[in-house]
């Protein structure tokens, strides 16, 4: 899975490619928590200048995946159980507390987009174990939940939610276990879409809370 992370990049859009590759390497633990990220080494491996690598590191630092320590170096961020529990609590407030606005403001076009993202998630899950792309699945999962928040029509809420980069951080933390949770994830997504189609705030709120609290409970159990 990680072999493509070490071949040279040949593309016009170097900055975006470098960003995606470095993000994937960190998210899937090819670059371990706390590991130093050597800019010159990556530049040489990927056949690019330092500039796109530096740009990628700046973006990932804003997302919380990288720590840049002045005069010391750049490191992949370590996440603690406490960090993750705090993110779950914030997510519960933002998603769980927005279900009424989702139902009131969602458009048919937005529902269709949710269904399309769900379909892509299910396509990914149907792949055999050797072909399943954890990183792609997680990106689609993040997109689904961003679309839910987007359905509220509240642009400020959407920006706050996106700035948390919740899925990227939790994905890193849960990498080795995530495939076993994927089926439950998409099952609960289906229930969310059904609740939106039925315009049931109560059902949607129940499923969203169940979805987030289940992850929170797994985290607590793992931390014991």
- Structure-token pair, residue 162: 């996106």
CB 185, CB 141: distance < 8 Å: yes
- Can you give the pLDDT of all 224 residues of the chain as single tens digits? 456 667 666 665 788 999 999 998 888 888 988 999 999 999 999 999 999 999 999 999 988 889 999 889 999 988 888 888 888 899 999 999 999 999 999 999 999 999 999 999 999 888 887 888 888 888 898 899 999 999 999 999 999 998 887 766 666 656 555 555 677 788 999 999 999 999 999 999 999 999 999 888 877 776 55
Tokens 């055999």 correspond to 128
Of the residues 17, 48, 76, the one at which a domain ends:
76
103 and 137 both lie in a single domain? yes
| Kind plus residue range of the DSSP H or E element containing 75 | strand 73-76
Give the per-residue pLDDT at 4.
66
What are the tokens at 86? Answer: 């705090």
Q: Are residues 69 and 121 in the same domain?
A: no
Q: Are 111 and 218 in the same domain?
A: yes
Give the per-residue pLDDT at 2: 59
When divided into structural domains, the chain yields a total of 2
Q: Which of 22, 44, 76 is the last residue of a domain?
A: 76
Question: Is the separation of the CB atoms in 176 and 70 below 8 Å?
Answer: no
**Alpha-carbon Rg of the chain, whole angstroms?**
18
Q: Is 67 helix (H, G, I), strand (E, B) or coil?
A: strand
Does 14 lie in the same domain as 119? no
Give the residue among 126, 145, 132 at the shortest CA–CA distance from 211. 145
Report the distance separating Cα 27 and Cα 22, nearest Å. 9
| Cβ within 8 Å of residue 106, ≥6 positions away | 151, 196
137: domain CATH number?
Answer: 1.20.120.530
Residues 96 and 67 in one domain: no
| C-alpha distances in Å from residue 111, one per residue of 90, 198, 223, 224 | 24, 12, 36, 39
What confidence score (pLDDT) does residue 186 get?
86
Provide the CATH number for the domain around residue 16: 1.10.10.10
Q: What are the percentages of helix, strand and coil residues in the chain, rounded to 5?
A: 75, 5, 25
Same domain, 167 and 142: yes
Instruction: Categorise residue 182: left if φ over 0, alpha if ψ from -120 to 50, beta otherwise.
Output: alpha
201 and 122 fall within a common domain: yes
State the residue range of the domain holding 71.
3-76
Q: Do both 114 and 150 map to the same domain?
A: yes
Residue 219 and residue 85 in contact, taking contact as beta carbons nearer than 8 Å: yes
135 & 194 share domain = yes
Q: So what's the pLDDT on residue 133?
A: 83
Both 171 and 185 in a single domain? yes
User: What is the rounded CA–CA span in Å between residue 5 and residue 21?
Assistant: 6
- For residues 87 and 155, state if they share a domain: yes
Instruction: Looking at the structure, tell me whether residues 92 and 62 fall in a common domain.
Output: no
Q: Which of 56, 76, 96 is the last residue of a domain?
A: 76
pLDDT value at residue 204: 97
Going by C-alpha positions, the residue among 177, 168, 170, 207 that lies closest to residue 190 is 207
Which candidate, 1, 10, 17, 19, places its Cα nearest to that of 168?
19
Cα 211 to Cα 152: distance, rounded to the nearest angstrom: 19
CA distance 103 to 140: 22
């Amino acid at each position: 899975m990680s072999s493509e992370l070490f071949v040279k990049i040949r593309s016009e859009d170097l900055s975006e490619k470098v960003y995606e590759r470095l993000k994937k390497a960190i998210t899937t633990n090819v670059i371990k928590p706390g590991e130093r990220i050597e800019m010159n080494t990556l530049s040489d491996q990927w056949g690019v200048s330092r500039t796109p690598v530096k740009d990628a590191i700046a973006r990932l630092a804003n997302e919380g995946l990288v720590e840049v320590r002045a005069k010391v170096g750049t490191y992949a961020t370590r996440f603690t159980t406490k960090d993750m529990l705090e993110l779950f609590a914030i997510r519960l407030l933002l998603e769980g507390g927005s279900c009424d606005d989702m139902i009131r403001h969602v458009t048919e076009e937005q529902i269709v987009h949710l269904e399309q993202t769900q379909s892509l998630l299910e396509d990914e899950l149907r792949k055999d174990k050797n072909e399943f792309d954890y990183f792609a699945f997680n990106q689609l999962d993040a997109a689904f939940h961003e679309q839910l928040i987007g359905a509220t029509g509240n642009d400020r809420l959407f920006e706050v939610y996106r700035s948390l980069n919740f899925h990227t951080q939790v994905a890193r933390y849960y990498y080795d276990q995530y495939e076993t949770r994927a089926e439950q994830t998409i099952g609960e997504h289906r229930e969310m879409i059904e609740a939106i189609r039925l315009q049931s705030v109560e059902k949607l709120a129940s499923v969203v809370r169940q979805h987030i609290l289940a992850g929170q409970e797994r985290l607590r159990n793992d931390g014991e």
